[in-house]
Structure 1
Amino acid sequence: MSRRAQLVVMARQPRFGMGKRRLAAGCGERAAWRFQRDNLALLVRRLGHDPRWQLRLALVPDAVRAPVPAARRLPRHVQCRGDLGQRILAELCPHPPGLPAAPRLVIGGDIAGVHAVHIARALRALRSHDWVIGPAEDGGFWLIGASGRHPRPPDFTGIAWGTDTACAAVLERLPGRHAFADRLFDVDEADDFLRWRRAG
């Protein structure tokens, strides 16, 4: 079994009028759609061809077509049904308990400023820890990763996703040892969008 690390980007197909509702309320539908499309394309260009991991896309509502042209040759699949916790765990721990697995990282498609160096540091942390989590500035998290060595997946039932306590709540559920990745910001509000545009 290959031990090549897997990097999964969970994202929505960029479609006008769908997704990023808080951003659309503050900046308009066009800005929200352009952010989803352009940031996902940027992630694919930055992370899609690094030999240290394989990039995969977990999409909603479908994976029939590539969400951006740069992703046409990347493996992609539809996210499972369920709440955010169930969907994250399906990507993070896809193998039956007890089977060896490669290190696996899961990130969102709306995180700004992600570069290969951030992913590489998170993977290095998994050499000596069971889990790694990348906190977001708003109290959530932008990355979560599993070493593949821990036999028991965590229970994410009842976590208040999208709140400023989400990261802390997830940390309480992780069995074994965890490490922190870099702290970044996601784009949910108009101020976040302006910051993303300024950063280029």
Structure 2
Amino acid sequence: MTDLFMQNPVYTVMALAGTILFFIKILLLFFGGDSDFDTDLDIDMNGDHIDGGDTFSIVSIQSILAFFMGTGWIGLAAIHEWKLTNGQSTIAAALFGVIMMLFSSFITFKIKKFNSIPKVDIKEAVGKVGRAYTNIPSKGQGVGQVEVTVGNKQQILQASSVDEAINSFDGIVVVQVDDSGNLLVKKS
């Protein structure tokens, strides 16, 4: 390993540091939540508007680490295994690093898209039939929960009765949605 480092210190440092930091980043993601920082880009120049909110982002800590990891390992392989010249190995390493960066960004984008919760207009619940998930006290006595399909997805939402108490698993009909987003329901 020392011999490898002495012959190609740049590729060796990129490969080892990139790999170690990449896996630390992944471990932090699994055990400590999101260890990345987010920035929003909002620029208005001559009426052109650019917004970087939830868009595909190529540059992130994870993608930069993937670039260094890929560049280092392919650079070492190109010189020592494929016997390429320094120029050829630099081109191969840089191209592979960019591919790794794009791949990492693409996977991150797909995971974020998969995890995003679609926004549903709760007012669509009015008129829907469902069932009481928990006991719902009579009018003005508190809230319970109901199970209703809204936006093609079954959801458990807070609800209050418009008249009598409703027991768990009884059928309900959504009558209205109040200002706080609670459903007002009655027995069906």
TM-score clears 0.5: no
Higher Cα radius of gyration: 2
Query: TM-score when scaled to structure 2?
Result: 0.23
Q: Of Structure 1 and Structure 2, which has the larger fraction of its residues in helix?
A: 2
Q: Which structure has the higher relative contact order (CA within 8 Å, separation 6+)?
A: 1
